[in-house]
Amino acid sequence: MTYVTLSITLIFVVIPLVLSRTLRLGLEKDTIIATIRSIIQLLAVGYVLKFVFDSENPLYIFLMVALMIVAATQNARTKGKAIKGITWKIAVTLIFVEVLTQSIMLGFNIIPATAQYIISTSGMVIGNSMVLSILFLNRFTAEVESHDDETELILSLGGTPKQAINRQLINAIKASMIPTIESQKTMGLVQLPGIMSGQIIAGADPVQAVQYQLLIIFLLLTTASVTSILLGFLSYPSLFNQRMQLLRK
């Protein structure tokens, strides 16, 4: 694609702008900001990646992954302000998921140990782990608030904090994982996943593209379940104090 054709793709930005204007949706400003941000961020990433791939220096791979984790943590932590120490809890979760998935993929030689593969799979794992953290935290804080009477009841009968919060914890873990599982059911039928589309457009063999896509689907299942469960178990104890009392707000 030349930069001229790339500029023509801006038509796809103009359409929502016009629609937003005529129907007074008030989304023009956000759309423009989103467009500009994505242009700048993606171009920057493109050049950085080119540099990292060319240099093949493991230190740069490490720095890239670390940067992704920091950015993802920053993004997700705003959803869990009610939970003490949420920043490091999210960071630990993201690091754990990343180390786990990369160890399996590299350990079994599923992907070659090159910057190209490590960084793109890490991007997907960390990005999804971040979204899952946000989904989990949103749901968990809402569940905790709306069922605080049940929590108090169980504590009052001599239950542990874990027992008192178990239902909310399980509900939030399940609810946050459902979108991942559901979207994978229709994968290939309704939607051609992004990476696969990208690879096919770039001229890769469709069967090869499918194989990588399957890897990613499986990878994201692990990412989703490990993220929600680990973050859940790290988070709930901060809702209680030493005397096993529920802390409010």
Partner 1 sequence: MDKIYEPALHFREVDYSVGDIHILKKITGSFPKGKITTLVGPSGAGKTTLLKLCNGLISPTSGDIFIHKKPIESFDPIELRRFVGIALQSAPMITGTVFQNLSLPLELRGEKLSEEDAIRFLEDVGLEDKFLHWKTDDLSGGQRQKVSIARTLINRSEILLLDEITSALDRTSLHEIEELITKINQKYGVTIIWITHNLDQALSIGDYTWVMMGGKVIETGESELLKSPKNELVRQFVQGDLS
The residues binding partner 1 (CB under 8 A) are 149-150, 152-160, 163, 167, 243-245, 248
For residue 164, the minimal CB distance to partner 1 (Å) is 9
Q: How far apart are CA 175 and CA 59, in angstroms?
A: 37
For residue 161, the minimal CB distance to partner 1 (Å) is 9
Cα-to-chain-centroid distance, residue 193: 16
Q: How far apart are CA 177 and CA 141, in angstroms?
A: 16
For residue 236, the minimal CB distance to partner 1 (Å) is 16
Per DSSP, the three-state class of 153 is: helix
C-beta closer to partner 1: residue 54 or 152: 152
Which residue from 172, 211, 166 is spatially nearest to 193, judged by alpha carbons? 211
Which residue from 217, 224, 216 is spatially nearest to 178, judged by alpha carbons? 224
Residues 6+ apart with CB under 8 A from 228: 132, 135, 136, 172, 173, 176, 177
HEC profile for 102-146?
Answer: HHHHHHCCCCCCCHHHHHHHHHHHHHHHHHHHHHHHHHHHHHHHH
For residue 82, the minimal CB distance to partner 1 (Å) is 16
For residue 142, the minimal CB distance to partner 1 (Å) is 16
For residue 135, the minimal CB distance to partner 1 (Å) is 22
Q: Which residues of 25-40 are buried (b: 16+ CB within 10 A; e: fewer)?
A: eeeeeebeeebeeeee
Q: Give the tokens for residue 99.
A: 């180390």
C-beta closer to partner 1: residue 55 or 245: 245
C-beta closer to partner 1: residue 28 or 148: 148
Q: How far apart are CA 45 and CA 64, in angstroms?
A: 10
- Beta bridge partners, 240, equal 246
For residue 155, the minimal CB distance to partner 1 (Å) is 6
C-beta closer to partner 1: residue 81 or 162: 162
C-beta closer to partner 1: residue 78 or 241: 241
C-beta closer to partner 1: residue 48 or 167: 167
C-beta closer to partner 1: residue 7 or 156: 156
